Structure 1
Amino acid sequence: MDKGTIFKFYNDLDTDQIIASQYLLLPNLEEMKAHTFESQDPDFAKKVKPDDYVVAGENFGCGSSREQAPGVLKALGVKAVIAKSFARIFFRNAINIGLPAIVCKDLPDDVQTGDTMELHMSEGTVEANGKTYTCTKLPEYMQHILNQGGLIASLNKEEDK
């Protein structure tokens, strides 16, 4: 159970709005993360804290397949992205790097930036504003990948056994 502040975004937010292409020239995620959501909220990277959440509408992370988009969110300490739906490649990239991407159809309509929420990933629920929302519960193998820090970390730990 992790409680954090919500940063809310809208439908069809694409990867260029998460991290604009000109910042992909920077040498690493540490330098890129200061520019996360720059076109949406220029102070986002300064305001977001570890264990905060990004909540959005439909088709979050559409656009290019750049894995820096979930990467900068994880580098900033975002605990999870909860949306009505995800672009398939963003969802896959997020899980691969160890950033939970949770589908929750009703939550985004009921919350605002600044609200707090608590994610119960293993139960598939979120609590916000005194209400419990049912979300898609990730399969055990995906939760295992996330708990290990992403796909590569998970595979490396399997090889060590």
Structure 2
Amino acid sequence: MSWKSKIQGRVWTLGGNVDTDQIFPGYAMAAPIEKFKEYALAGGEIPDFTKKVQDGDIIVAGENFGCGSSREQAPVALKEAGVGLVIAKSFARIFRRNAINIGLPVLVCDLEQRVENGQEIEVDLVLAEVTICASGGKISGTSLASNVLETLEAGGLIAKVRKQLKIS
């Protein structure tokens, strides 16, 4: 998925403390990267997520999303499955960093109790603002630092460094 500062998609709500085993189960660790999408959220409350998710869909969760291990494969699996953005009340630090490093946008925003599965929302990452499409209501999140926006715009940390060093 190429960089978009505005992302519109359908919401998937999850609770709090969604750990990396739920996002990408340990039994899938040996899978080749092209199969990661088949295991996204397979250990959680939506085991058939990959059959239902559409490109650009948005996960909305509670506190501590991505807790558990430092498993880099967890955000990769979500991105490979087509998730366009993860919004949570808070993130485990290592998950947040891993997501940004691979170019998966994440936004801190207390949205969990304000949206329902299937609702359409639009998120302006530059303004850190969520718009609920049906009502037009707006909710502010925590602004992303300029270096985070640059990393996401480049498509991830490796792409950003290559761009800075002018390596193709």
TM-score if structure 1 supplies the norm length? 0.95
Gaps of 5+ in 1: none
Question: Which residue of 12, 19, 40 corresponds with 2:24?
Answer: 19
CA distance in 2, matches of 1:52, 1:83: 14
Q: Does residue 116 of structure 2 align to residue 145 of structure 1? A: no
Report the equivalent of 1:136: 142
CA distance in 2, matches of 1:156, 1:65: 24
Q: Is the contact made by 2:75 and 2:104 (CA closer than 8 Å) also made in structure 1?
A: yes
Q: Does residue 81 of structure 2 align to residue 65 of structure 1? A: no
The list of structure 1 runs, each at least 4 consecutive aligned residues, that deviate by more than 2 angstroms after superposition, is none
Deviations 1:76-110 (A, max 9, x none): 121110000000100010111111110002x1111
Amino acid at match of 1:45: T
Aligned CA-pair RMSD? 1.1
Report the equivalent of 2:94: 89
Deviations 1:32-73 (A, max 9, x none): 211211132122111111111010000000000011000011
Gaps of 5+ in 2: 1-5
CA distance in 1, matches of 2:67, 2:78: 15
Report the equivalent of 2:126: 122
Percent of aligned positions that are identical: 45
Question: Which residue of 36, 40, 59 corresponds with 1:54?
Answer: 59
CA distance in 2, matches of 1:33, 1:3: 21
Amino acid at match of 2:73: Q
CA distance in 1, matches of 2:112, 2:166: 40
SS in structure 2 opposite 1:86?
Answer: coil
Amino acid at match of 1:158: Q
Amino acid at match of 2:13: K
Q: Is the contact made by 2:36 and 2:80 (CA closer than 8 Å) also made in structure 1?
A: no
